[in-house]
Structure 1
Amino acid sequence: MPRVLLTLTTTRPDAATPASDLGYLLHKHPARVQTFDGGAVHVLYPESDDERCTVALVLELDPVALVRGTGGHEPFVLAQYVNDRPYTASSQLVVAMGRTFRSALAGRCDTRPDLVDRRWPLEVHVPVVGCTGGPATAHRLLAPLGWDVQATPLPLDPQVPAWGDSRYVDLRLRGTHRLADALRHLYVLLPALDGSKHYWVDEGEVDKLLRAGGDWLAAHPARDEIARRYLARSRALAASALDRLTEADGPVAGDDEPDEEATSPVPDRDVPLVQQRHEAVLAALRESGARTVVDLGCGEGALVGRLLAEGYERVLGTDVSLRALAAARRRLHLDTLPERARSRVELVQSSVTSSDARVAGFDAAVLMEVVEHLDLARLGAMERAVLGIARPRTLVVTTPNAEHNVRYPRLAAGALRHHDHRFEWTRAQFRAWAQQAAAAHGYTVSFAPVGPDDPDVGPPTQLAVLRGRDEAGPSSTTSSTTTGTEADR
């Protein structure tokens, strides 16, 4: 009977953790062969000791039984008789993986919860994977997630080399990940590589995609392609998935503290840069004379709280992430605020790239550590929505200075400070963008450093203040340059 195979191997992650502890996370004992789905799915461990552990997921598919089944979404009449499902890793293997490793996919391990967030050195091998587009597609979809990808094309017929390569590859991946993250990558990307599914694809598949990809898909450079491929090239479903991913479940702009703090050269010293950033923004707002402020991309509401404490008459916080807004409500204790304070603040879901009448009419707007979370292609839409339509009298923008990254010893050369940053600008690039945006919409612009202003590479954060021409102030603004640690918002 034809078999489809996936193996996952780890070595000892640290001196205190044997490799065989992988069995706890998978909820499958290494000493036993376990069978599921009426004998069609098997989980076994070809090797398991303190130094090395391999788990194999074997799927047995009866081609005749497939024809007798209820069938699925077949691309042509004979597809139920002539197909590759019993021989290649695709959606059927992923369905088996989802059922067999359900708890591991969810990141649950009641027996050993300490293992859930441990990063394991992993090797994944899938001998036959449907991969439309060949090795280049495998690299494009998997490498951005931190996998070393080896995708070897399989010939159409080994006996007739002249026929060339097939659409299948022998896929090997190596990387260091949490097990739940690795399984979610495979759950989404194995069917995405194939580009089709053995069953009807409907809105329920969008839910599956967002559950498995919610933590990483939004920041993936090929997210649109992944959505289309995973959803069997349905444009309508892919559009629905991307809308939901971006507007409701997307990453929290400005919520970057863990990544940047980990790269900080001088932790816990003097005033943290996040605090210096707040002070610089508040100083610019005070200088503008604003009484009403909208924090665009407010994240979990840290700056909104400072604005309330400063006594602004009206404060609006917006973010695309419902999760961030829920956290902001908890941080600000909106349910228990005195009525007078509660009447001054509002939190709403909104995208900085879309026109929204609720953000118009404010004296000032803030984009603090937000622009770098947008695709470069979306900056024009953001400029039109904020400067062209909302038109605050003053706009304060902060963003990381890419030149300063060399001062973070734990940040790899060329790496960005946070996993969701789409880019980071040098001082010249930031100035060019801000000057162009200001000129296009009738604003003047001035600049200031935030954090220690290194004589060679500049400050860790750069700030721009855009003023409507009738609000133009000094040619430059100033802010604190006290040494501090890098942390976002």
Structure 2
Amino acid sequence: MFLTIALRSPVPEVPATDLGFLLHKNPARPQSLEVAGGTAHVLYPEATAERCTAAVLLEVDPIALVRSGRGRSSEGFTLGQYVNDRPYAASSLLAVALGKLFRTAMNGRCDARPSLAASAIPLEIHLPALPCRGGAPLADRFFAPLGWTVDARPIPLDPTIPAWGDSRYIDLRLTGEVRLADALNHLYVLMPVLDDAKHYWVGPDEIEKLLRAGEGWLATHPEKELISRRYLAHSRNLTDTALERLTEADGDLLADDPTTEFGDNLPGSAGSVGVVGEGPAAAQSGPPGGGSASTRPSLAAQRRAVVLEVLREVGGQRVGDLGCGEGVLVGELLKDGRYDLVVATDVSSRALAQAEKRLRVAEMSDRQRERLRLFQSSVTYADERLAGLDAVVLMEVVEHVDPPRLPALGRAVFGVAKPGAVVVTTPNAEYNVRFEMLSAGAFRHPDHRFEWSRGEFAEWADGICKAYGYAVEFRAVGPVDDEVGAPTQLAVFRRKEEV
């Protein structure tokens, strides 16, 4: 297996040989490391101030791999475990080797060149033989959204016999200005995904590996479901868990990463939070708490901050988070001593289990545990346990409900539970045109049943008020665009006798 990573000098005063600092591997000294099934070598075929190339050569012994118990049980024919492409084609073996060779680099740490480690730099990556189930177009679908220019060329079965056609391998070249840590993590995840196979048993611990390596890019990737499914060996349970973990309970995925242009850092936006109608002044108010675009909190964090502020405004000591997911907002509510009772519900038992783990319920004091009610419930069914609350939150919940079930949600929440106040947040569909990676007409999340424009949201809210005796006020969350509004729209419903 063979892989090269080349750096062209990003600026004249920064020599390309600084790649050695970033990788923590000296260009003047070849290094070797024993890994599962073989030996990995790092050497530099070129190292000049203008261009530096690091090469990774992985020598795999397929016989030793099988004898160690790490080989797959079946390779399609009798001697398949011993006669195969493992010594020659990039696979999960190479991904594991990268993780061992460049662990510190993958974490983005370089004490010698911290600013360079944090910067996007001109990189060229070459994988001369990569198994790709799905062909060259799939490689483009995976890497292009991450900022790479992709040159994926099918490798013929036999160049001298064109009639045989192409093999399942591609010659892959990637070029782009990408942070080195991100580049390594892209490779770590996507090499075995393109191969659609792993040389070792895939268990629950692989979810953590996927989330760690995919941090900052996988949650917003248009092919995240396919990537997760392949990485986790098509295990439905593992894949569902990974996708739930990728989806923060109160966040739409596209707007959750403050380091990308999605949501928080759109050109010309200031990450403001204001009341609808404040106009350009709101858009210039800056992120909550000040700070530059690089330090601005994600839209999900802004959304939580606004919801918490609204709950403080409406008052009350008994609050509920309906559709709480993994309990991120619940954790913030429990930190606030003004709340005597925090009710957290979700229709998903798996999400509730994750919330219980995140909140460390088992480690809570008796007093803290008495303040929390965590149970399974659906927002479309009346639940008497929700009666008597001062305020409830439906944060990024309504858009996951099938439209024919929305009247049932209205009856259950506003007609039966009848809290003093209801805070609802949902995506603003008009803002979707500002997401360059979102195709026309597509939703921000695959589980969304709809996404409302501001007018549609206002129409639904007006119907709720007339049917159940509430008054409503609208607010915007996130960068306010003069043409399309903010990415998240928020409504505060107050029961009329509470107004």
Instruction: Assess same fold via TM > 0.5.
Output: yes
Aligned to 1:28: 25
Secondary structure in 1 matching 2:71: coil
Preserved contact between residue 410 and residue 464 of structure 2 (Cα < 8 Å)? no
Cα distance between partner residues in 2 of 1:274 and 1:7: 45
Matched, 1:58 2:57: yes
Determine what percentage of the aligned residue pairs are the same residue.
Answer: 42
Aligned to 2:288: none
Report deviation, 1:305: 3.8
Report deviation, 1:28: 0.6
Matched, 1:320 2:325: yes
Report deviation, 1:440: 10
| Code of the aligned partner of 1:431 | G
Preserved contact between residue 105 and residue 180 of structure 2 (Cα < 8 Å)? yes
Aligned to 2:455: 431
* Cα gap change, 1:388 to 1:187, in 2 (>3 Å): farther
Secondary structure in 2 matching 1:237: helix
Report deviation, 1:57: 1.0
Aligned to 2:43: 44
Aligned to 2:266: 263
Matched, 1:127 2:150: no
Aligned to 1:285: none
Cα distance between partner residues in 2 of 1:351 and 1:253: 23
**TM-score, normalization by structure 2:** 0.68
Please list the CA deviations of residues 94-135 of structure 1 after superposition, one character each: whole Å capped at 9, or x if unmatched. Answer: 111111111112223233333332222222211111111112
Cα distance between partner residues in 1 of 2:315 and 2:13: 53
Preserved contact between residue 118 and residue 178 of structure 1 (Cα < 8 Å)? yes
| Code of the aligned partner of 1:23 | G
Task: Please list every run of 5 or more consecutive structure 1 residues that lacks an aligned counterpart in the other structure.
Answer: 281-295, 473-489
Matched, 1:177 2:178: yes
Report deviation, 1:92: 0.8
- The structure, 1 or 2, with the larger RCO (C-alpha pairs under 8 Å, 6+ apart) is 1
Which of 327, 340, 343 lines up with 2:340 in the alignment? 343
Cα distance between partner residues in 2 of 1:196 and 1:111: 37
Report deviation, 1:431: 3.1
Report deviation, 1:273: 3.3
* Cα gap change, 1:443 to 1:14, in 2 (>3 Å): farther
Between 1:60-69 and 1:390-399, the stretch displaced more is 390-399
Preserved contact between residue 255 and residue 300 of structure 1 (Cα < 8 Å)? no
Preserved contact between residue 449 and residue 459 of structure 1 (Cα < 8 Å)? no
Preserved contact between residue 148 and residue 175 of structure 2 (Cα < 8 Å)? yes
Cα distance between partner residues in 2 of 1:456 and 1:207: 40
Aligned to 1:73: 72
Which of 355, 360, 377 lines up with 2:378 in the alignment? 355
Please list the CA deviations of residues 109-165 of structure 1 after superposition, one character each: whole Å capped at 9, or x if unmatched. Answer: 233333332222222211111111112222222222222222211112212111111
Please list the CA deviations of residues 332-359 of structure 1 after superposition, one character each: whole Å capped at 9, or x if unmatched. Answer: 953xx4xxx2426x38585899726699
* Cα gap change, 1:163 to 1:388, in 2 (>3 Å): farther
Equivalence map 1:382-421=2 (5 Å): 383=406, 387=410, 389-391=412-414, 397=424, 421=444
Secondary structure in 2 matching 1:111: coil
Aligned to 1:457: 483
Report deviation, 1:41: 0.9
Between 1:161-170 and 1:61-70, the stretch displaced more is 61-70
Preserved contact between residue 355 and residue 389 of structure 1 (Cα < 8 Å)? no
| Code of the aligned partner of 1:304 | L
Cα distance between partner residues in 2 of 1:44 and 1:131: 26
* Cα gap change, 1:120 to 1:253, in 2 (>3 Å): closer
* Cα gap change, 1:160 to 1:216, in 2 (>3 Å): same
Task: Please list every run of 5 or more consecutive structure 2 residues that lacks an aligned counterpart in the other structure.
Answer: 280-299, 352-376
Cα distance between partner residues in 2 of 1:385 and 1:56: 60
* Cα gap change, 1:222 to 1:404, in 2 (>3 Å): closer
* Cα gap change, 1:196 to 1:249, in 2 (>3 Å): farther
* Cα gap change, 1:249 to 1:31, in 2 (>3 Å): farther
Aligned to 2:204: 203
Cα distance between partner residues in 2 of 1:217 and 1:385: 34
Aligned to 1:291: none
* Cα gap change, 1:310 to 1:146, in 2 (>3 Å): same
Cα distance between partner residues in 1 of 2:401 and 2:148: 28
Preserved contact between residue 27 and residue 44 of structure 2 (Cα < 8 Å)? yes
Cα distance between partner residues in 1 of 2:196 and 2:465: 43
* Cα gap change, 1:348 to 1:40, in 2 (>3 Å): same
* Cα gap change, 1:186 to 1:377, in 2 (>3 Å): farther
Cα distance between partner residues in 2 of 1:26 and 1:462: 40
Which of 7, 11, 23 lines up with 1:10 in the alignment? 7
Aligned to 1:289: none
Matched, 1:106 2:129: no
Cα distance between partner residues in 2 of 1:171 and 1:455: 40
Please list the CA deviations of residues 25-70 of structure 1 after superposition, one character each: whole Å capped at 9, or x if unmatched. Answer: 2111122211111872111122233332221111112344445443
Cα distance between partner residues in 2 of 1:441 and 1:168: 60
**TM-score, normalization by structure 1:** 0.70
Between 1:162-171 and 1:459-468, the stretch displaced more is 459-468
* Cα gap change, 1:230 to 1:28, in 2 (>3 Å): same
Secondary structure in 2 matching 1:218: coil
Please list the CA deviations of residues 329-388 of structure 1 after superposition, one character each: whole Å capped at 9, or x if unmatched. Answer: 6xx953xx4xxx2426x38585899726699445665556x47xx9x7776599589546
Report deviation, 1:465: 4.9
Preserved contact between residue 320 and residue 391 of structure 2 (Cα < 8 Å)? no
Aligned to 2:92: 91
Matched, 1:146 2:147: yes
* Cα gap change, 1:403 to 1:206, in 2 (>3 Å): closer
Preserved contact between residue 276 and residue 475 of structure 2 (Cα < 8 Å)? no
| Code of the aligned partner of 2:268 | P
Preserved contact between residue 152 and residue 173 of structure 2 (Cα < 8 Å)? yes
Root-mean-square deviation over aligned CA pairs: 4.9
- Size of the aligned set, in residue pairs, is 430
Cα distance between partner residues in 2 of 1:108 and 1:385: 51
Equivalence map 1:174-253=2 (5 Å): 174-246=175-247
Aligned to 2:366: none
Secondary structure in 2 matching 1:217: coil
Please list the CA deviations of residues 395-414 of structure 1 after superposition, one character each: whole Å capped at 9, or x if unmatched. Answer: 555567676799xxxx7867
Please list the CA deviations of residues 272-292 of structure 1 after superposition, one character each: whole Å capped at 9, or x if unmatched. Answer: 731436999xxxxxxxxxxxx
Secondary structure in 1 matching 2:58: strand
